[in-house]
Structure 1
C-alpha cells in the first residue's frame, strides 16, 4: 500500500525487544531459561505482528515496529513492517518518542502503542480501539497486573503528546493504570477502557496460553 493511501489513518506502533538470548523476558527467563524465554517472545511478537499486519493490509491502519536490540537488515526485510529503533532512555521516554514520531504528517491522525506480550490479542481488540479514538482523546487497554496493554491518543492529542502521560509513572508496578487514569481525570480527559488482557511476564502467565 502506498504511503499516500495511509495519510490520516491511525498509526499503530508495536514496541518490542528483539528476541535474543538473555535480553528479553528476563523475569520469565529466570524460571524457564533464557533460550525458552526468547522463543516465547518470538512467538508472541509473531502473533501480534500477524494481527496488526492484517489491519494494515486492509487499509485500516499504518504499522510501525519499534524494536530494542534490532535484527539485521536481512531479518528486517522479513518483518513486513516499517522497523525503527526505540532509542535510549526509560520506557516512558521511549514511548513518548515513538508517539511523537508516529504523529508526524500532513494530516492529524490517531496513534496507538502496544507491546507484543498478548497471546489473546485479536483483530476486534484493535478495531475497538480505533473506533473509540473517534470519540475519546485517550484509550487504554487494562492489563491484569495493573498496567495497560494499549495506549491510544486521538489525532490532535497525539500531536501534542503531553509529557504527563509518560513521565514519572511507576512503570512495572500495579499502579501504572490507576495513576494514568487519575492524571487524565484531573485534566478533564475522558478515557475509554477496552477489554482487559493479561500479558506474559512470569511462569504462571503461561498456563492459559499453553492449555
Structure 2
C-alpha cells in the first residue's frame, strides 16, 4: 500500500500566513518568503513517486485546482476544518486513504526527500515517528495506522514547548516511537536569515 505524505499549507496571503514573522520583517517580506519557500517545498516533495502527496489547505476554498497556480495541480487537496490543530490533524487522518501517513507543516522549509523517506522506512517497523523542532514542537508526525490511536492529538498544548511531548503522550502506551533529527521552524524574525535560508532550500 502506497504511503501518504500530507503537507499542511496556508494560502500565501497577507494576514493569513506567517503573521508572527511579519511582525519582525514586515508583511510583504514575510508573505514573499512563505510563498517562495512553500512552493519549493511542495514541488520538491510532491514530485517523489515513492509516496502519494496530499495538500491540506487553508482556507478550504483553496481545494480548487486553479486557486493557487504554484501548487502542482496534479496533487490531491483536502480542506482544513475549523478548530485547533489537533482537530485539523484528526480530520486529515480520516480523509486520506489507509496505510502509513506522514504529516508535515510548512514552517520547516528545509525538509528533504531523505527526511520523508526515512520517516516512512521507520514506519515499516514502528508505530509512530516524530521530527522534533528546536522550540519543543515538531515539524513531522507519522503514524503506521495498524493500531488504533483514539486519543491522538487530544489535550495537546499547541504552539509551545509542550506540543511534542503532549502529542506523544496522546498515543497509546504500547506504541513504538522513533525520532528524526531536530530541525528549526521559521516562526519569527529571530529564526530567519532570509536570504541564506531561501538559498539553502533551493539546493
Question: If the TM-score is normalised by the length of the shorter chain, which range does it land in?
Answer: 0.7 to 0.9
Instruction: Report the CA distance between 1:182 and its aligned residue.
Output: 3.6
Query: Cα distance, 1:74 vs. partner?
Result: 2.1
Are 2:182 and 1:176 aligned? no
Q: Does the 8 Å contact 1:139/1:191 carry over to 2?
A: yes
Q: Which residue of 1 aligns with 2:19?
A: 26
For the residue of structure 1 that corresponds to 2:44, the secondary structure is: helix
Q: How many corresponding residue pairs?
A: 193
TM-score, structure 1 normalization = 0.84
1:183 Cα offset (Å): 4.1
Q: Is the 8 A contact 2:131 2:183 kept in 1?
A: yes
Q: Deviations over 1:38-83 (max 9, x none)?
A: 111112211220221221xx2x111110111244642356522112
- Is structure 2 residue 100 aligned with structure 1 residue 110? yes
Counterparts of 1:46-195 in structure 2, within 5 Å, are: 46-55=39-48, 58=49, 60-69=50-59, 70-71=61-62, 73-76=65-68, 78-80=70-72, 81-102=75-96, 104=97, 108-157=98-147, 160=148, 162-184=149-171, 187-195=173-181
Q: Using the alignment, how far apart are the partners of 1:20 and 1:182 within structure 2?
A: 34
CA RMSD of aligned residues (A): 1.9
- Answer yes or no: is 1:201 the counterpart of 2:201: no
Q: Deviations over 1:112-164 (max 9, x none)?
A: 1100122221111001001000011011001111011111000414xx4x342
Q: CA 1:210–1:204 in structure 2 vs 1: closer, same or farther (change >3 Å)?
A: farther
CA offset at residue 210 of structure 1?
5.6
8 Å CA contact 1:76–1:83 kept in 2: the answer is no
Q: Deviations over 1:67-106 (max 9, x none)?
A: 112446423565221122112111100011001111x3xx
